[in-house]
Structure 1
Amino acid sequence: MGRIGFVSLILILLIASLQSQDKIKQKKEELNQLRKEIEIYENKIKQALKEEKLTLEIIDDFEKKDNLLRKLIQELKKQANENEKNINKLQIEIAKSEEEIRKLKEHYANYVRSIYKRGRLHDLELILTSRSLNQMLVRTIYLKKFSEYRKRTIDSIYAMQNELKERKNELEIALTSQKELIAEKEREEANLSASIKEKKEILEKIRKDKQNLQAQLERRRKAIKEIEAMIAKLIEEERRKKEEIERRKKIEIPKVESNFAKLRGKLPWPVENGRIVNRFGEQVHPVLKTVTLNFGVDIAVPEDSPVKAVADGVVSKIFWLPSFENLIIITHDGGFRTVYANLSDIFVSEGENVKAGQVIGKSGNSLEGSIVHFEIWQERQQQNPELWLSKR
């Protein structure tokens, strides 16, 4: 390799190393930012409990903190998986280097034994016993090249041994880092479990307070309007995209019969086991006796139940709303959308294509209990999910 090529290689390795360091630094900053945000909510909760302010806002803080904890755990898992891949790669490299060094040493040992058996004067004898000047020159060049080869072999062994030492140091650092990541992940998982348990206990106390129940109804009314506004926004965005496609291609997009529309009365349920406790439309609150409007259905389920997409579609929106916790909107063909709310955890991302029956999240625990709120929309029109879901 020429000098320019060698310098180029060094520069490439240096840039790659700096990029890797920047990535590690960025990841650490992201994790630290998550920890700071978690601490903010922890302090708010502690202050509220100290002042004995058991309001709905404290539940909001719990939900936000738990979401951040889940995100932190997810990031720690991701880093641990990347670290695991790096560890496996290093172990393979170390094994290959050790095998190459072993072969080189064995080859060199055979050569040394051969020299010992033949004696030190063998090379000189080989030259002096040449039958002609030409043969002497050929043998001299051969011995010179062979001597250079021996030197390169020794140099290669030393270089590979140094490289092997570096790889082993990298492996030790990676293994130490892996232990720390796993230990931190386990600590955060324990924190999340403790937080969920504490939230449940506070929810039980809040449920007994009529004032909080009334506040929850008001929050729910506002949340319903926000979902309606979000659906309208998604419809408008979709309309603009279609118009742009038509304008660019100068063709009219043909209207086809929706596959989703064919599922009316046969739509699979978003949860495996559950019963509807709040129906579509106007409902009378069992305690407050006030009339509320429900744009979907509330399905009572066992805690932490898997929540599934009812049909193929695209995840259009993921967000959080007071009284509805984590919420997913999936867009289906024919202008249909489904809404899944009161989720404790989410397993999909915005823009992701999902299949019918795919687990998209996990049910959460709210003031109304362990429920999943489910809605169906056709454009801006709310649909009664009970007319769509298959009979049980």
Structure 2
Amino acid sequence: MNLIRKITIVLTLIFLSAVSFAQSSAELKKQRERLDREISLLNESLKETSSSKALTLKQVNALNTQIQLRERKISTISSEVRLIERQIQDNTQEIKKLEEQLEKLKKDYASMIRFAFRNKNGYNKMMFIFASKDFNQAFKRVKYLQQFSESRKNQAKEIEETQGTIKRKIEELAAAKKEQSALLEVQQAERNKLNGQKSEKSKVVSSFASQEKQYKQEISKKQQESQRLARAIQAAIRREIEAERKRAEEEARLAAAKEAARAKAAGETPKPVETEKPAATAAPKTASGVLSATPEAAKLSNEFMGNRGKLPWPVAQGTITQGFGMHTYGKGVKMENNGVNIRTNSGAAVRAIFNGEVTSVVQMMGAGYAVIIRHGKYFSVYSNLRSVSVSRGTKVTVKQAIGTAATDPDEGTTEVHFELWEGSAPINPTPWLARF
């Protein structure tokens, strides 16, 4: 029974290991498929713009992003290969253990067969029983013979099941080795493509010297657009802060009037009601504090914050071609991004990332429209929209379409610029968004 228990434990461990491997393998495959989609999307946009003689910043960003995605895909494949190698090692060890236990089972079974052969004669069995000292011993000997027969059947069944398990593990081992070989081929192909893209990037970098003036002009134009958008966002936030302060003052005034009326009716001297001091003389209060001062705003802010890392993307499909922060192009050519640029499909719907209220719809010079949505103390900003379907004061829900992404008429690329602000300060939106 100890041996049978050991085999049961081994089989259970094999099952749990297989389940764990399946989950990890599925996650890695899903990640590789997502990277394939993003690379494919950038491939299409690069093909559309490759005929352009002048290299633009969008093309440079797309090429850089494609290289990064390719490197991440190679890294993902490496993780898959390592996982399969561990599975091969585990299966090899498990097969060895099972074969050792099978050999032990066969030896035990052979001993039982020899014993049964020696006592196959019914007369011998009867003599064994009748040779008992008393009825109790005779009963025990009958039970022993029954259990021995049953044990022999169980032992044969265990041998058969163990042989079946070994056969399945050998098949899994062969399949794993085949999958490993296929993945290594894919990885080598990706490395070859990566080397080609890095070579292309080297040519791009060398072209900066001759096109530096053009890039500086393009960056200057984009920075002006960024500054106009930042001013529009800040103006919208100031309006919201001022509205919140006025609301607080009005509530304090109404509370004072109510207290005065109550005191007058009761013949009492009204108690002074503390009102919020004007912004110029009051103790400094942060924009975030003012914007989440009401219970409703505080609740919405907390709900928004509770969804960090789970917020949907502003487009159903896309890839980030330029991240948050400062970016350098060549020597002395820099550009700061207050959000992220997301390459997407032509005509893609742009959607709200969370419940909120539209505070502004701004028409940008040469950059379509921008929509600003408030979520308590947080603001989400969607720009480079061709058209919008909301207006100031519109209540929106998560994933509700608010407009359509604009396509660059010269390059044929479609990018949405997305920003996230906490109070009056921009923050990196990437950690807040869910992974595709």
**What is residue 201 of structure 1 aligned with on the other side?**
203
| 1:217 and 2:217 aligned | no
| 1:138 and 2:101 aligned | no
| Distance in structure 2 (CA, Å) of the matches to 1:41 and 1:128 | 89
| Distance in structure 2 (CA, Å) of the matches to 1:179 and 1:239 | 60
**CA drift at 1:130:** 3.3
Aligned pair in 2 of structure 1 residues 92, 114: CA closer, same or farther (>3 Å)? same
**What is residue 174 of structure 1 aligned with on the other side?**
176
Please list the CA deviations of residues 334-382 of structure 1 after superposition, one character each: whole Å capped at 9, or x if unmatched: xxxxx5x43xxxxxxxxxxxxxxxxxxxxxx73337999899xxx9799
| Distance in structure 1 (CA, Å) of the matches to 2:203 and 2:217 | 20
Contact 1:55 1:206 in 2 (8 A): no
Within 5 A, what are the aligned runs for 1:1-392?
Answer: 28=29, 31-115=32-116, 118=118, 120-121=120-121, 122-209=124-211, 210-222=213-225, 327=323, 341-342=326-327, 366-368=329-331
Please list the CA deviations of residues 235-271 of structure 1 after superposition, one character each: whole Å capped at 9, or x if unmatched: 9668868998xx89xxxxxxxxxxxxxxxxxxxxxxx
User: What 5-or-longer segments of structure 1 have no aligned partner?
Assistant: 1-13, 249-313, 329-338, 343-364, 383-392
> What is the SS of the residue equivalent to 2:65?
helix
| Distance in structure 2 (CA, Å) of the matches to 1:96 and 1:28 | 30
**CA drift at 1:154:** 0.9
Contact 2:31 2:76 in 1 (8 A): no
**What is residue 252 of structure 1 aligned with on the other side?**
none
Count matched residues: 261
**CA drift at 1:230:** 9.6
* Paired letter, 2:58: E
**CA drift at 1:193:** 3.1
| Distance in structure 2 (CA, Å) of the matches to 1:195 and 1:69 | 9
**CA drift at 1:158:** 0.6
> What is the SS of the residue equivalent to 1:367?
coil
Contact 1:38 1:65 in 2 (8 A): yes
**CA drift at 1:70:** 3.4
| Distance in structure 1 (CA, Å) of the matches to 2:190 and 2:19 | 30
Aligned pair in 2 of structure 1 residues 381, 47: CA closer, same or farther (>3 Å)? closer
Contact 1:127 1:136 in 2 (8 A): yes
> What is the SS of the residue equivalent to 1:181?
helix
Q: Report which of the two structures shows the higher radius of gyration computed on alpha carbons.
A: 2
Contact 1:59 1:203 in 2 (8 A): no
Contact 1:80 1:181 in 2 (8 A): yes
* Paired letter, 2:187: K
Please list the CA deviations of residues 77-120 of structure 1 after superposition, one character each: whole Å capped at 9, or x if unmatched: 4434444444444344334323322221222233334556x464
**CA drift at 1:199:** 1.5
| Distance in structure 2 (CA, Å) of the matches to 1:242 and 1:71 | 43
**CA drift at 1:142:** 0.9
Aligned pair in 2 of structure 1 residues 109, 366: CA closer, same or farther (>3 Å)? farther
* Paired letter, 1:172: A
> What is the SS of the residue equivalent to 1:208?
helix
User: What 5-or-longer segments of structure 2 have no aligned partner?
Assistant: 1-14, 238-285, 300-307, 314-319, 339-422, 427-436
**What is residue 419 of structure 2 aligned with on the other side?**
none
| Distance in structure 2 (CA, Å) of the matches to 1:103 and 1:240 | 74
Contact 1:207 1:213 in 2 (8 A): no
* Paired letter, 2:101: E
Aligned pair in 2 of structure 1 residues 325, 24: CA closer, same or farther (>3 Å)? closer
Aligned pair in 2 of structure 1 residues 94, 32: CA closer, same or farther (>3 Å)? same
Aligned pair in 2 of structure 1 residues 195, 243: CA closer, same or farther (>3 Å)? farther
**What is residue 5 of structure 1 aligned with on the other side?**
none
| Distance in structure 1 (CA, Å) of the matches to 2:223 and 2:86 | 46
Aligned pair in 2 of structure 1 residues 325, 48: CA closer, same or farther (>3 Å)? closer
Please list the CA deviations of residues 55-84 of structure 1 after superposition, one character each: whole Å capped at 9, or x if unmatched: 333212212322332343343344344444
* Paired letter, 2:209: R
Contact 1:105 1:157 in 2 (8 A): yes
* Paired letter, 2:67: D
Aligned pair in 2 of structure 1 residues 146, 115: CA closer, same or farther (>3 Å)? closer
